[in-house]
Amino acid sequence: MNGALTEEYTAAIREYLAGSGEAALRLAYESGRRALVEGLGVLELVAAHQAPLVQALRTETTEKGKERVLMQALSCLAEGLSPFEMVLRGTREGNERLQRSLSSLQSVEEQLRSQNEDLTIAHRSVEKERRRYQALFDFAPDGYVVTGLEGAIREANAAAAALLRTSQEMLPGQSLHEFVVEADRSEFRERLHSLHLRTVDRWEDWQIHIQPRDGSPIPVALTVVAERAVPAVAGLRWLIRDVTARRRLEKERARSLVGQARAEAARRFEFLAEASSLLVNSFDVEANLISVARLTVSFLEGWCFVGIIEPDGTFRQLEVAHADPALTDLATALRRHCLLRTRTNEANATQLLGPQVINPLTGAWLDGIADGPDHAELLRQINGSSAMVLPLRIHDRLMGVMTLISSGAARGYRPSDRLFGGDLARCCALALENARLYRDVVAERDKAEQANRAKDEFVAILAHELRNPLTPILGWTQALKGNALILRDPVLRAGVSAMERNAKMLARLAGDCVDLARISERKIRVEHKPTDLNAIILASVETVREMAISRGLRLMLDLGSEPLQVLGDTMRLEQVVMNLLINAVKYTEQDGLISVRSISSGKEAEIEVQDTGIGIDPAFLDLIFQPFRQGTASWLTSQSGLGLGLTITRQIVEMHGGRVWAESPGLGLGSTFHVRLPLTTLTHEESRVDIPIGPESQGRGIQILLVEDSEDILFLMKAELEELGYAVTTARDGRTGIEAAKTHRPDVIISDIKMPIMDGYELIRTIRATPELRTLSAIALTGFGTRGSSERALAAGFDACVSKPAEREELLAVIRELTERDSSAPTGTSFSLASHSAEERLGDES
């Protein structure tokens, strides 16, 4: 390459040495520099001088010439070498720079190497971490899945694959949706959507059921975290945890909790049941509450304070119960004070709306419920840890407060105890309310009974006052009826029979009133002797026949041929049939028909009284048997009386073991009354007890002393008794009665109670106190039909009581019983009917 340049250089030197001047030297210099640049070595450059120098020296013959040539050759060489020198210098400098660069390169390399080493270490640890993560990922017990935003699986670990019952390799690309049970899918989608929208960053412990490829659904808890990348969400990381075992454990725990709760609930239930039964233990609600307080502390331990609000609004402490026998003194001291007094007054009662739990107890709270510093000090000694205040309320009314204070090791009250406390409070409040209602009801009942007694008394007095004057009227009309003078005069005869009819009607009304008084005091008593119902019906029909005919009614009688034998009281049964017949006559208009039937059906006899009268509203069919109740329509007819007949009828029938009822198709369609009585097979003779054969023989040989201030009654009774064969002496007051008794020594004294000078009570007391009269049998004629007067008479010493004016049969029966017993009793033995026979038979009505 540099061959040409070298030649060029050699030629230029030759020229110069040949004396061509400066231009040749410049050319030599130029070509020598270029040659050097091109890579000509120094030795080659020096060698390039050799041939022209040798040639020039040969040419020069002189030494001087030779010297000049040499000098020229040398300066040429120097010129030629100067660029070389420069290059050499530059090279040296470059070398130095190179050297420097090299050393800096070496340090960079050094750095790089160390960085490389660091990187290698870092890489190794990253790799280790990655492997660790991978291991974790792969072998973690829970399923890890990485999905896209729509749930497409990118990565899944072995546990996830196992959970989803598929192979790990198969999972990438599948959608997680497909593994969610149908029921949870829409929620799944919604939650994914919210992650997508970035409204939430993660869902934790999100419980769903997954549906593996095969097998049944598995409950899982999902935790999904959105991987954030700006500006969107990059993907989702899922942790899927099988919670089957957790669920089972939870269930088992829940079951065991339920079991414990049940046991506790059962214990509490038992306690509440026991408390409830204690609360109804007696009518004394305060005693019951005290028992409950004691039961409460035995159940809950600690202390129980019970207080009640009095009707005047003041609060009274009932009981301070405690469980620890060692604390009796403290309890005694606490009983002297009243807990919560100020809180229960009207202004503060609103603080006690429902159960309150105070836990822990503070000194301030104790100060608030104490009635003063001493009380507060005592309360502190309880050393209570918590309390429950149970207001005993019904609706808006505070009726008391129960305060429970736990102490010692007993577990404190918790807010959850309020429910149980509320139940206990409700039981106690109900008991208090019931007691209050009971008190009210009893007071009302007493008032009603008092009013009823006043009514009965009024009815009895009225009946008495009616019957007293009626007795002589009836007696005299009967006497006058048989009088020859009156019999001859048709006007007088009609007048007397009208008098008799009306007096009888009045007597019946008065009799009903007396019967009612007896019924309400349960004093009616019936005889049970075999009696023929048909005979009773016949006699009754005969009695009303005249009345029916006078009202233009037809009477039809259909009685069986056989007697209908029942065990009963003839007079009372006659009263039953008469009541029904008289009603039929009263409530049937002219031209109507009254049919009376009797049949025997099975073991019963039935009487049926049917009429074509005004009928009964079906709504009243049963009411008409109640006292003073009338069918509205019939009342308007003014036929109705006091509304007592059917009440008495039902009572008598029931006393015979039978029943009576009414039927009617409706108003205006007539009525039918049925009476059913049990039949008997006993005959009259079989049951017959000593009954005197003839009326006159009944009283033969028996002395009666009649003490009565009413002359009319005295006259009538004397006449009636004498007609029956009794020997009768009379007296007008108690004192003369005693005189007469002493004089005549009667077998029986019959005495009025209300008399001038000496009343009946004093009379009998004197007789019982007089040795020679003490054993006399004595019958009181009491007036007012009340239990009080007959009881008083019997207590005073009478053997029996008969209400005034005395029913003839009733009085005779009593006399008979007294005299028969008297004669069968050992001589000198007194006996009393007060305790049984007379009282039972007649009731002790006056």
Residues at the interface with ligand ADP (CB under 6 A): 579, 583-584, 587, 611, 613-614, 616, 624, 630-631, 634-635, 640-647, 671
Phi, psi of 388 (to 5 degrees): -135, 125
Nearest to 784 by CA among 843, 846, 835, 701: 846
CA distance 343 to 403: 12
Nearer to ligand ADP, 375 or 650 (CB): 650
Q: CB 762 → ligand ADP: shortest distance, Å?
A: 40
Q: 123: which 2 tokens?
A: 């890489």
Nearest to 468 by CA among 435, 431, 507: 507
Nearer to ligand ADP, 217 or 641 (CB): 641
Q: Indicate the burial class of 226 (C-beta count within 10 angstroms; 0-12, 13-18, 19 or more).
A: buried
Give the CA diameter of the chain.
239
Q: CB 624 → ligand ADP: shortest distance, Å?
A: 4
Nearer to ligand ADP, 517 or 750 (CB): 517
Nearer to ligand ADP, 239 or 646 (CB): 646
Give residue 539's Cα distance to chain centre.
Answer: 63
Count Cα neighbours of 337 within 13 Å in the Cβ-side half-sphere: 19
Residue pair 384/293 in contact (Cβ under 8 Å)? The answer is no
Q: Which residue has the tokens 């800096």?
A: 104
CA distance 531 to 121: 132
Query: 168 vs 138, 162, 685, CA distance in Å?
Result: 10, 8, 114
Query: 596 vs 241, 368, 557, CA distance in Å?
Result: 95, 84, 5
Q: Which residues pair with 466 in a beta bridge?
A: none
Query: 471 vs 317, 464, 844, CA distance in Å?
Result: 65, 10, 21
Nearer to ligand ADP, 317 or 612 (CB): 612
Q: 128: which 2 tokens?
A: 């280790």
Alpha helices in 482-568 (DSSP H): 484-488, 490-520, 533-550
Q: CB 551 → ligand ADP: shortest distance, Å?
A: 13
Nearer to ligand ADP, 121 or 669 (CB): 669
Nearest to 780 by CA among 744, 746, 804: 804
CA distance 305 to 411: 18
CA distance 480 to 500: 10
Q: CB 550 → ligand ADP: shortest distance, Å?
A: 17
221 three-class SS: strand
Nearer to ligand ADP, 486 or 585 (CB): 585
Residue pair 216/226 in contact (Cβ under 8 Å)? The answer is no
CA distance 238 to 292: 60
Nearer to ligand ADP, 671 or 710 (CB): 671
Q: CB 631 → ligand ADP: shortest distance, Å?
A: 3
Nearer to ligand ADP, 567 or 616 (CB): 616
Q: Indicate the burial class of 532 (C-beta count within 10 angstroms; 0-12, 13-18, 19 or more).
A: middle
Fill in the DSSP letter of residue 200. -
Q: 534: which 2 tokens?
A: 């048909």
Q: CB 677 → ligand ADP: shortest distance, Å?
A: 19
Residue pair 774/796 in contact (Cβ under 8 Å)? The answer is no
Q: CB 615 → ligand ADP: shortest distance, Å?
A: 6
Element (H, E) at 362: none
Amino acid (one-letter) located at 382: I
Q: Which residue has the tokens 């050097």?
A: 36
Q: Indicate the burial class of 149 (C-beta count within 10 angstroms; 0-12, 13-18, 19 or more).
A: middle
Nearer to ligand ADP, 598 or 630 (CB): 630
Nearer to ligand ADP, 496 or 596 (CB): 596
Which residues touch 595 (CB under 8 Å, ≥6 apart)? 555, 556, 557, 558, 608, 609, 610, 611
CA distance 147 to 171: 10
Q: Indicate the burial class of 371 (C-beta count within 10 angstroms; 0-12, 13-18, 19 or more).
A: middle
Nearer to ligand ADP, 355 or 643 (CB): 643
Which residues touch 624 (CB under 8 Å, ≥6 apart)? 616, 630, 631, 643, 646, 662
- Give DSSP secondary structure letters for 657-704: T-EEEEE-SSTTS-EEEEEEEEB----TTTT-----SSHHHHTTT-EE
Q: CB 651 → ligand ADP: shortest distance, Å?
A: 11
Q: CB 401 → ligand ADP: shortest distance, Å?
A: 55
**Residues 367, 373, 375, 378, CA torsion sign:** positive
Phi, psi of 321 (to 5 degrees): -105, 145
Nearer to ligand ADP, 661 or 715 (CB): 661
